[in-house]
Structure 1
Amino acid sequence: DFANWGATARVLRRFDDAGHEWSNELRYDKNSNDSSGLAVTNYLIPAGQALYERTANATDQVNWGFTSAYTRPLSTGGKLRLGYELNDQRPEQRTDFLRGPSEAAVVPVPALNNRFEARQTVHALYTTYERPLGEKLSGQLGLRLEQADIRIEDLTGGATASQDYFRAYPTAHLQYQLNPEQTLRASYSRRIQRPQPSQLNPFVSYQDPLNRRSGNPDLQPQETDSFEAMWQMRKGQSFYQATAYLRDTDKAFTDVATDIGGGVLLTRPENLGSRRDIGLELTANGRLHPTLRYNASVNVFRQEIDAGAVAGGGDREAALASGRLSLNWQPTTKDFVQLSGFWQGDSLLAQGTREAGGMVNLGYRRKLSDTLSFNFTGRDLFNSFSNTTVYDTPLFSERNEQKIKLRAFYVGLTWNFGGGQRRQPEQFDFSTGPSGG
């Protein structure tokens, strides 16, 4: 069960019609997500009585956000932006775990129940300055200053932790217009990815008889220095882009498993020493036929990781790849078909590898009238989506295969009312069934 609601208030002050303005926005969001599941474990080696386990999870989160941005065009043809952002997240999580010899006889296991609260507040000041440097050349410089305050509390176990840090994130961009159709760009940026509050929760949760998982209150944010060079061409309804990049990430996140006895592994996130990705990403979209469009991308890169102080880890490197493809076919003015798929290549862990996987989706829409349409979607047509993780350390080895089986089919009607005729979106949402509009 998922519920979400929110409100946004905006105030905009325009000083002239040339882009001189001051905008302010206040946002509030509240969401709750309740889920439960029953797991049955059948013991084959050695043979034993089946074990029934039920897990119920409840997550409630409140988000406050405030943005104030000032934009002023300059007499040199440039533009100055100044701004402040506040983001305040307050998640609460509850886990209830029950176990027994049958579904009707499951009872709570106090040691595996947990309540957790956190608060993450980020204040940011930023500025960007852009201006033309010639007839075809332009540049932009930016700086973002952030102060982050994080507090977590395991209400069940009594553990608390906090993180406070100040960081500066510069950016620089150059753009050169080769001709009306082609553009060259070069950029540098420093970015941060903070751990989610749940990744900081030290509570050890039960996954299955051989696996446990916990967060890590000492997990540090990962920071990436990104250097990119891009060529872009727009010609009619076709678009092509090639991006060469180098991304150096300090303290990158990785899952680490530890043998805690009895063949049981505890997995929790840790920070790598560093990770480097050097690669080329190609993107293209256009028409193969007047009724058929395509959108495709492929990313080929070499990854090197320094395991740092990760126990049982090792430095690793490999050539990796991923890609996606979408075909949109409109044989008539009333019919629209979309076939899409993605493939995610292997990814390196400090102790092993997460293997490649992907899926194929299909969507069909038939316009019955100006306000009514028939929808059909098929998710993961070949039931191929899976998650396979391989750990290979001096102390233990494990191969964990999860056949997730996401295949699902949805049939429905969409009725658009109010505001006159609306254009249907080209992209289907394959994560859920079609919804009304």
Structure 2
Amino acid sequence: MSKTWDAIIIGGGAAGLFCAGVAGQLGKRVLVLDHASVLGEKIRISGGGRCNFTNLHSSPANFLSLNSHFIKSALARYPSSEFIKLVNAHGINYHEKHQGQLFCDDSAMQIIEMLMTECKKGGVKIRFPVTVESIAQDASEWLIHTSDGVEKTKAVVMATGGLPVPAIGASAYSLDIAKQFGLSVVDPRPALVPLSFTAETFGNLNDLAGLSVPVRIAAGSKGHRYGACRFNEDLLLTHKGLSGPGVLQASSYWVEGEPIHIDWLGAIERPGGFNCDVLFNNDENRLKSAETILASVLPQRLAKAFAEQKNLMGRKWAEVSKKDRQALKELITNWSVKPAGTLGWKKAEVMLGGVDTKELDSQTMMARNYPGLFFIGECVDVTGHLGGHNFQWAWASGFACAQALNSFS
């Protein structure tokens, strides 16, 4: 058995490696353990291989948690601007893609290499692949039983992430440890995930697959676990259901058995603004067919599908009653549909739920009733919107934990 470490971090992903690098450079003796044969796989595959490593506008409003105040301290102490400084210091070129989302110009591997370099600067020891078999508290120390032997540490940091993408080794180990020590866990479920539909609900998916449309989409309600949302984003129709940024965002708020609401015209931008009433009540459209009018603001295939659904194909607008026009408008601007479910952990980008924040100190990430036991990153009940916010939570929670480790004795 080696001499006691200042901290052992379980999990060599974004939060774990970043926390280790910061703590190591503060003079702490840190060991990182991971069961994977390759570290940082979730970073590597993120953002289409270019890693959406943060968001310029990341704030508490971009996160879901049963305790919305929990996020504030960590984000304030380590905002996205601080991580951007680190990226710049490593000479990594990046670009803003959409609404503050920052991506590497070259490769996500640059972020992994940066984290490894920071760990090296701090003298961090990293061991992988190694299996953690058990974690136990022994007086003021912690015993970590691994496939390579037993290690002693003053503090243990759980940073094993969540359940998405099981193919790269995702697990619920952090949640298992939380439960072992009696900490409450908010039931996890897939988030930022495509939604599926039955053939009866949305029978013409095959005809529409591949279409991307800007929409306004809403899900959830004030009375639900994480409240309600409304996003103006692109929606992608697929063979299995709905995907794209708008649907991924809404999936985090969607409640099983309830509908989502889509305004197919809500996100349309037109010079001088877009007036939906003018579209449906314009006398200049009298001799045009219903599908032609809809195709002026929607993709042709989608316009045809809506016209068919209301039995208006081939009918001149002058022949469509006011009642039918109103029904068509309601269908397009407030389309309510119940998803059958999500595409599950294999397609989810993040996990919703996790270690209940009421069990943790928001300034240190340490369990209130177990000094020396910390939880950071995705395993905590903090889930960001799409667009780099989840990585920012990894950096912010990891930084808060590292600062706490520096003063922990």
> Which structure has the higher relative contact order (CA within 8 Å, separation 6+)?
2
Q: Which has the higher strand share?
A: 1
TM-score under structure 1 normalisation?
A: 0.18
